[in-house]
Amino acid sequence: QVQLQESGPGLVKPSETLSLTCTVACDSIGSCYWSWIRQPAGKGLEWIGRISSTGISNYNPSLKSRVTMSVDTSKNQFSLNLSSVTAADTAVYYCARRGASNYFDSWGQGTLVTVSS
């Protein structure tokens, strides 16, 4: 199974930008897609968006105005920026890879981000 690892601040102030990075690997340029998915404590999963190894992105319409994703294949990383955060953005954030099945077959361990002053 492919290893993914999220990193970034665990605490972000309201109205600021949440920034996370995921270390990934892609053995075939042009065919890898990675997503960010979040989960508030005790709740369900919410897909934030995805980006390909060539920079093609799709975002959840409900978050689209605040989300930016980018990829740096030279560093084997892709990133999430979520602007103007509120307490409602407090969650465990996962990065996940789209596998050959076209579903998420590899996940990071998740990183808790708390929005609080």
Q: Which of residues 49-78 bind other proteins (CB under 8 A)?
A: 50, 58, 60-62
Roughly how many angstroms between the first and final C-alpha of the chain, as a whole number? 38
- 102 touches other proteins by CB under 8 A: yes
Asked if 86 is part of the footprint of other proteins (rule: CB under 8 A), the reply reads: no
Count of residues making up the chain: 117
In the three-class reduction of DSSP (H, G, I as helix; E, B as strand; rest coil), residue 59 is classed as strand
- Shortest distance in whole angstroms from residue 78 CB to other proteins: 17
Which of 97, 95, 85, 90 has the alpha carbon at shortest distance from 112?
A: 90
**Which of 10-18, 45-53, 73-81, 82-90 is the region at the interface with other proteins (rule: CB under 8 A)?**
45-53
Q: Which is nearer to other proteins, 74 or 103 (CB)?
A: 103
Taking CB under 8 A as the rule, does residue 108 contact other proteins?
A: yes
Residue of 2, 66, 12 lying closest to 34 (CA atoms): 2
Paired tokens of 35: 């997503």
Residues of the shown chain interacting with other proteins in the complex, contacts defined by CB under 8 A: 35, 44-47, 50, 58, 60-62, 94, 96, 99, 101-105, 107-110
